[in-house]
Structure 1
Amino acid sequence: MSRLIGPYTADPCPRCFTEEVRHGAPVSAAGRDAVRHLCRTCAHTWLRPVETDIDVHDTVRADLPDRTLYGTAWQVEDDRVLVRGSGGEFLVWVERWRILVY
């Protein structure tokens, strides 16, 4: 289960379950776009597929370099998503690989 740490969301490692803020890096694997993550505790690496099935009004999480945002997909393009915060508190374009659908 993920939890908030300051302005970020920490995710557990699937091997050792250590919770840490992991931004990942975009990669291509087997012809698909993915995000590569690394656990600094046990050195385990894993891939998360880039979300391809994002629809307008989906609830999403955006892992940005300076914070984690939760909101609604307001507009979806091939390589980016416009994320709107609840009550319209923010409207931000985010690269698709940084988005997780909730």
Structure 2
Amino acid sequence: MSRTVGARTADPCPRCFLEAARPGKPMTVEGRDVVGYVCDHCANAWTRPVEGDVEVYDTVRVDLADATLYGTVWQVEAGRVQVRSTGGERLLWVERWRVIVY
């Protein structure tokens, strides 16, 4: 399972497999909303699509600037999602591009 490594993304680089990728940034590529990543180790760049089918009660991972949150979707709006952390002690709104459905 993915994990947080300091100020890095929870997933390793698909080229070198080191957990040295910077947090993603939202962007548009060929008319699609994606999240772009860059590896600090090998400079590989890659993207993933922004989740479009997020629904209430989905299990998700949220890549925050300083941590990775795992939890359940509580509410969904056009550009943001409310997530309750796995332990239930945290409930917050995050931008949709930060959410990855598990």
Aligned to 1:62: 62
Q: For residue 101 of structure 2, what is the amino acid of its counterpart?
A: V
Q: Deviations over 1:19-45 (max 9, x none)?
A: 135311100011110000001111110
SS in 1 for 2:10: strand
Structure number having the greater strand percentage: 1
Q: What's the offset of the Cα at 1:3? A: 3.1
Query: Would you say the 8 A contact 2:4–2:67 is kept in 1?
Result: no
Matched, 1:92 2:55: no
SS in 1 for 2:97: helix
> What is the CA–CA distance in structure 2 between the aligned matches of 1:4 and 1:37, rounded to whole Å?
15
* Runs of 4+ with deviation above 6 angstroms: none
Of residues 80-89 and 90-99 in structure 1, the stretch that sits farther from structure 2 once superposed is: 80-89
> What is the CA–CA distance in structure 1 between the aligned matches of 2:77 and 2:70, rounded to whole Å?
18
Q: What's the offset of the Cα at 1:90? A: 1.1
Query: Would you say the 8 A contact 1:10–1:20 is kept in 2?
Result: no
Aligned to 2:36: 36
Query: Would you say the 8 A contact 2:72–2:84 is kept in 1?
Result: yes
Unaligned runs of 5+ in 1: none
Q: For residue 13 of structure 2, what is the amino acid of its counterpart?
A: C
What percentage of aligned pairs have identical amino acids? 62
Q: 1:47 to 1:64 in 2, by over 3 A?
A: same
Q: What's the offset of the Cα at 1:67? A: 1.4
SS in 2 for 1:57: coil
Query: Would you say the 8 A contact 2:60–2:70 is kept in 1?
Result: yes
TM-score normalised per structure 1: 0.89
SS in 1 for 2:81: strand
Aligned to 1:11: 11
